[in-house]
Every structure is written in structure tokens, then in C-alpha cells.
Amino acid sequence: MTVEPDKLMFRAGRKLRRLGLAALAFPFRPRDRKIVPDLRRGLPALGQRLAPPYFHGVYGSMAEAARDCGNPFDSAPWVETAEFVTRSLLARTRSANFVVDVHLIPFATLVADLAARRNHVRVLDFGGGQGDNFIQLQAAIDDSLKSKIEYHIVDTPNNCKAGELLLAEFGGRVSFHRADPDHGVHYEPSARGVYDITMLCGTLMYIDGWKELLADLAARTSDYLYITRTLHTSAAPTFYANQFIVPSVGPWAGKYIGRIATAIISPAEIEDLAAREGFTPSLDALLFAYDHRMSSNAPPYNQIFQAMTCFSKRPPLNDSPEINARLAH
């Protein structure tokens, strides 16, 4: 894999997302008005095929949105889905044409750069599932760097258990740490400590107390804070919703497996939290915007997108042929 310099560090996402916000006059704030989804017909049955919309309701807090939701990400259907994805990745990495997912390319670049300059690099992957991000990192970087990387994954108990079994023969310095499925800010003390780089991939928006968690992780990260595949809105302040979870791949593809409270986060709030710990943005990229039909909410609460952002306590990484060569294989 070769990382092209013009695709590594850019700010196009921020510019696109802030278009039309000069007035900063939002129609109303979630705390002033609550929109409760109409569930009088009842929730879908487990395993029922379900089409969009998947985002419902506008709440002022995670606690309000979380009533009667639970966490499907520790359930058997999701664990089976995650195992399908992880096994598929293991198979794909054996191909000479394997390419790292776009939302992980900057992460792999940063880890490789740190490992090239240091004897020991500690990585925290908060919400790292059964090891899919770790597998891609191992496939992306040069063999000479792998022994320097100490990789830690925090996830729900069932995902950790499955990941330990799947990666038992894969190799690499990887450790799993259990988190409380209903209170992600509570996790095993073994995962605490200082890390060179911390990543939250598709995770931050599902944590009750995400601000507390982000502040804690930022305080214990020395170089890079990498946040990717996170749900955002620039059309309103942060609000909360119910998200119906319908996997796109695996044995449960297209089928309802549960719902969870989710934060649709204003990027400015993350920037402010990171800045308090001395971080500045070094990457800001738009991954994709959801079709408005994915949400049952009226504007502006149907304007949701995914982005990846990196914050740094050091000057932004200058991409170079040398770094690209270390990632190429």
C-alpha cells in the first residue's frame, strides 16, 4: 500500500462542513425541545429485515435517548457480525492486492512513523472490536516495525473474548481489555496508562459520558489523538438519537439486531475538549454524508455525516517518500 501525500493531511472536510453556518443561528437546541420517535407500532423484531430510516428522535442527553435501549454491540448477533468481518480481513490480508481501509490510512502512517523513530510505541484502540483495526495495521507496516508496537484494545466483554480467540495465532503484541457494555467510561484498569497514540474508531458516539472519556484519554495520550468514523453534525449543536443497528455484512446483513442511544456530535465540541489537553487539529477529513432519508427527523436533525480527525501535540506529520516506502508492501 502506498499513501499519496495529497491524501494524508488536509482540511477539506472542515471547509465543506462549515459552509452555510456563518449566522450560527440554529432553529432550536435539543435541550429546549425534545422529539420522541413514534414507536406506537412497536419495535422491529430481532432479525427482521429493515430498511431506513435508522436514526430516530432528538434528545438533549444520552440518558434520555438510552431509555430501554441496551447495547446491541455486545449481543450475539453483533459478535457474530464482527467475527465475520474480522475473519474476512484475515483472509484479505493474505492477498498481494490488500489495501487498508481509507479511514485507517493516516492512523497506520502515524504509527509507522512513531515506530521508525522510537524503540517502543504504545497504541490504544478504544472500541477496537475483535481486532480488525489491529489486523489492518499489521498488514500495512513493515515487518521491522511490528515488534516495537504494543497494541491495546478496549471493547465489550464478548467482543474481547472472541477477539482473543481469533488473534491467538495471528501474532503481534496485542492485549484486550473489557469495558462495561452499558457504561463505556468504565473499563479494566489494565488499559489505563499513557499511550503514544489513541484511536476511537466508530465508538465515541455510543459512549454514555463521551466527553468525560475523551478528556481522560486525551490527558493520557502523548502524541496523537485519532478519531474516525464518528457521527457528526454541523447543522446543529450536539444532539442525541436512537439508532437502529442493521449490519451491512455477515449473517445478519440487512436485519435489525437492536437499538442504541447515539450522540450526533458537533465537531467544535471535540476540538474544544482536545484543545484543553494541548492538542491541535492536524487532519480533518469528510468520509461521507448520510442520505437524509437515513433519519426520520426533520432538518436540521437529519444532516449527519462521518468524519475522521487527528489531533496532535506535535507539529503535523510531514508525509514523505520514506514514510510511504515503510508502508508499501
pLDDT in tens, 277-288: 999 999 999 999
What pLDDT is attached to residue 36? 57
| Cβ proximity of 243 and 259 under 8 Å | yes
The C-alpha atoms of residue 6 and residue 202 are separated, in whole angstroms, by 24
Q: What does the pLDDT read at residue 1? A: 38
Q: Which CATH number goes with the domain that contains 18?
A: 3.40.50.150
- pLDDT number for residue 162: 96
- Domains contained in the chain, number: 1
Ranges of the chain with pLDDT below 50 = 1-33, 40, 316-320, 323-329
Residue with cell 475483535: 130
- Residue 304 and residue 215: Cα distance in Å, rounded? 24
DSSP state of 130: T
The distance from CA 149 to its chain's CA centroid, rounded to whole angstroms, is 21
Q: All 3 cell numbers of residue 180?
A: 462495561
Query: Under 8 Å CB-to-CB from 326, ≥6 apart: which residues?
Result: 112, 113, 116, 141, 142, 145
How far is Cα 192 from Cα 197, in angstroms, rounded to an integer?
Answer: 13
Q: What is the mean pLDDT of the chain?
A: 85
CA distances (Å), origin 68, targets 42, 63, 253, 329: 13, 10, 24, 48
pLDDT of residue 315: 55
Query: Would you state the pLDDT for residue 141?
Result: 93
> In whole angstroms, what is the distance from residue 240 CA to residue 235 CA?
14
Judging by DSSP bridges, how do beta strands 55-59 and 239-245 pair with one another? Answer: antiparallel
**pTM of the predicted model, to two decimals?**
0.85
Give the span between the Cα atoms of 169 and 165, in whole angstroms: 8
Q: What pLDDT is recorded for position 304?
A: 97
pLDDT tens, 201-231?
999 999 999 999 999 999 999 999 999 999 9
Closest C-alpha among 241, 245, 252 to residue 297: 241
**Alpha-carbon gap, residue 55 to 68, rounded angstroms:** 16
pLDDT at 33: 46
Q: What is the pLDDT of residue 190?
A: 86
- Domain of 116, in residue numbers: 5-35+44-327
DSSP 126: E
